Amino acid sequence: MSWPSQMTPAARRPRVASLPAAALLLTPAVLLAVSSVRSEGFTRSLAVGVAVTLALEGLFLLVRYGSQRATRSLFLLSFYAVAAAVLRFNSPDFASPFTHLLLSASLLIPVGLFARRELVATVGNSRRIWILIRQLVARTEWPESFALYRDDPAVRSLRHALGEDAAPVLPLLVHDDVRVQVAALTALEAFPTWRRGQVEAVLQRAQFSDQPAVRAAAVLALADVRKDRHLQALLTFLRDPTDEVRQAAAQAVLWDAGRRWPIVRGQIRWALAAAHAERDGALPYSGSLPPEAVTDLVTWSAEAGTIGKRAALTLIRHCKKAIRDDGSPAAIARVAALVENPKVPAALRVELAHRLQSADA
């Protein structure tokens, strides 16, 4: 949660700013004014000058932005911080109990305000999540395909509201309506933070669901898991009988291929060689392949059968992304090295050479 650092002018209202808001904004000035009574010389002048400045700034905020926006801005906290700094400067030895009282007020009031705002924001966000969930459960019209769930406004709103806590939507995984399950899992896609038992709950839903859309959404939800045992569980979905789930599993596993390749290498080879996945084509991945993966794909592309065909298609896709998306001299050089590599099948080298010529044109 963050405090608004920029404010827009408030709409004109017939009534004056509320007394509590005025008191909160003017209290720092009052504290400094009171401290100046017992000060002398430069310290008194400093306290009075800063007090007048803070009072004028507070009145300006009240008139310009209204009581509600003024008391929710960072300016309010900065007023108390300035007051505390001046009080500390004027009494470096803390010899007077009076100074302790003023300093405690200048520190405890903003801390209390901040704690109250955090509490209100937390409770308010929880309420918003439950409202979104109720709307989701009561919904009657849904996207026509699983791919459209990602761009659904309700699903996107739920994802944004969840933040880093997946707990509120996990009960939806056992909802009778499969579309609700898919929506909940889509809201968790590549979720960054999982608590104890939550990954297992999503895996269980994926393993025991007979709906391909549910399995695909669950796999994508777990794309950012960090433990090897969870990653190993995801790899089993590379063998799923449905191409939609296999594609989702490949995306989930390979988005961080640089770190994961030593772990997933064997299963990726099996997935490329699977006869029932021959029509899947190139492996889908959103990131970049590490050099170790490229070396393995070169080796596999020389083999006969499904694995050779799909490994070659994956290499072509990798080089196409390197040329189109990266386009740096280093990326072009890596593709050129594959063209000159005698271990790469001749047909594949010719295709890559054409890609390079098209990029130069």
Say which residue, 317 or 86, is predicted with more confidence: 317
This prediction has a pTM of: 0.65
Tokens read off for 84? 């505390």
Question: Residue 103's CB: how many other CB atoms inside 10 A?
Answer: 18
Rounded to an integer, what distance in angstroms lies between the CA atom of residue 201 and that of residue 167?
A: 11
What does the pLDDT look like over 94-109, one tens digit per residue? 667 777 788 788 788 8
Say which residue, 121 or 2, is predicted with more confidence: 121
Question: Residue 45's CB: how many other CB atoms inside 10 A?
Answer: 12
Which helix or strand (DSSP H or E) is residue 305 part of? none
Kindly report the backbone phi and psi dihedral angles of residue 140, in degrees, each rounded to the nearest multiple of 5, phi listed first. Answer: -115, -25
What per-residue confidence (pLDDT) applies to 80?
Answer: 84
DSSP string computed for 45-104:
HHHHHHHHHHHHHHHHHHHHHHHHHHHTSHHHHHHHHHHHHHHHHH-TT---HHHHHHHH
Q: Let me know the angle formed at the C-alpha of 78 by 73 and 84, rounded to the nearest 5 degrees.
A: 145
Percentage of residues in the chain having pLDDT higher than 70 = 89
For residue 11, pLDDT beyond 80: no
Sign of CA dihedral 61, 124, 118, 188: negative
SS3 11: coil
What per-residue confidence (pLDDT) applies to 3?
Answer: 37
Say which residue, 16 or 37, is predicted with more confidence: 37
What does the pLDDT look like over 184-230, one tens digit per residue? 999 999 999 899 999 999 999 999 999 999 999 999 999 999 999 99
DSSP string computed for 252-296:
HHHTTHHHHHHHHHHHHHHHHH-GGGGGG-SPP-SS---HHHHHH
Q: Which of 44-48, 164-168, 294-298 has the lowest mean pLDDT?
A: 44-48
Rounded to an integer, what distance in angstroms lies between the CA atom of residue 238 and that of residue 240?
A: 6
